[in-house]
A and B are shown apart, each in its own frame.
Chain A
Amino acid sequence: MKALIKRLKQKFNISDPMYQRDNEVFITVKKEDAVSFITHMNKVEGFTHLVLLTAVDWLEDGKFQLTYLLNNNMEKMDVGVQVFLDREQAEMESIHHLWKQAPTYQRELKEMFGIDFPGSPRIDEPFILEGWQEIPPYRRDFDTKAYTEETYFPRPGRKTHDPAEYMKQKLYPEE
């Protein structure tokens, strides 16, 4: 693993790696170099398996973080590639020419987070939600409790029989 990191540092401008385990490491890459970095890992270094592609919503920093988890089956190594995107203009180059399962991940990210991958096949088809008209639901500024109470008729009368609540009601009735 250390030899791999040394090789990569010579070629690309990557950050310091964060070691999760002995054979699993997370590297942060800039958005412009990301696709060429991943292509290099796929073709040259032997990381031929794309395990997953997910996103994290950093609301306070105003960024989306994409994580590509790559796996090298021969040497049993995992490398996670983290890419930071701007939250207002969430766009990223597509990697559908490298793996056949990438378009499905990208479709889900477009529907749930709103991150666009121009050029990916079938990117605009709905994945799970049909006829969704609000903001993408996995964003942290989407209040799902308020949406539920307004759209689906909640049944009134959810009582609680928690003893702590009961004692609190009894001892401090005015709160």
Chain B
Amino acid sequence: MSKNDLDKRIVTGPDGKQFEVDPMQDYFCQERPKVHEPSANKIWEKFLNWARAESLWILGYGTGCGAIEMRPLMTPRFDAFRYGIQWRPTPRQSNVIVIGGYMSVKTLKRVIRSYEQMQGPKYVVALGSCTINGGMYWDSYNTINRLDKYLPVDVYITGCMPRPEALLAGFEELKKIIKKGKGEGQNLYAKNFDEYKANQKQIIKNWDMPDYNW
């Protein structure tokens, strides 16, 4: 989207009338994210958590060097499909986003956009030591140091890069967390929305998105 698309402009409607349009206000929804509480019935919620854990749909977006460790999971040698993990191409249909490795400021803007478009209970898995404390790129001017100041992370998988077996172990850990009922990253994000947004806007200086990308 070029800069000109987001300016206010005069548009002619189909019936010839002219009116002014402000794209940031009119074309995007301005509401804040909501907190979705788990359902009150404990046994039903346990069953639903079991179903959510056994069928994890990952967004097929390889950010950084972790992507090369995610690809062997689709091959016959490591075979993540027997754990119920499948890859989906769009953020609307996926539940897990895997942040692989270092995050530059440019990628962070796109990842935030994808994360906010995901629905339902959503989980973030962070690979590598660059997401924990900056890792190898701790003194670089373009990469972030701590991921959980910008997104709520559920599982960290350590390593530089972790091997595919380590990734599978990390997914097992994520399943245990979900089955216990602790996979509430979405609600954490909605409750502390202002703090996360302030952190994000501090480093992303050309913010041309709405506050929350529905």
Contacts and interface: CB of A to CB of B under 8 A. Distances in A.
**Direct touch of chains A and B (CB < 8 A):** yes
A154 B206 contact: no
A144 interface: yes
B145 A131 contact: no
Contacts of B143: 152
A11 B140 CA distance: 46
A137 B109 CA distance: 20
B205 A131 contact: yes
A144 B132 CA distance: 19
A139 B7 CA distance: 34
Interface in B173-214: 199, 202-206
A133 interface: yes
The A interface is mostly helix, strand or loop, or mixed, namely loop
B198 to A, nearest CB: 12
B133 A154 contact: yes
B134 A132 contact: no
A128 B142 contact: yes
B205 A152 contact: no
Given A130-B205, A132-B205, A155-B133, A148 B138 contact: yes
Given A133-B205, A152-B134, A152-B203, A147 B146 contact: no
A148 B140 contact: yes
B139 A144 contact: yes
A148 B141 CA distance: 6
A143 to B, nearest CB: 9
A151 interface: yes
B164 to A, nearest CB: 26
B141 to A, nearest CB: 5
Highest count of chain B CB atoms <10 Å: which of A148, A151, A152, A158:
A152
Contacts of B92: none
Interface string A124-141: 000011111100010000
Interface of A: 128-133, 137, 142, 144-145, 147-148, 151-155, 158
Nearest 4 interchain pairs by C-beta = A131-B205, A131-B206, A155-B133, A152-B145
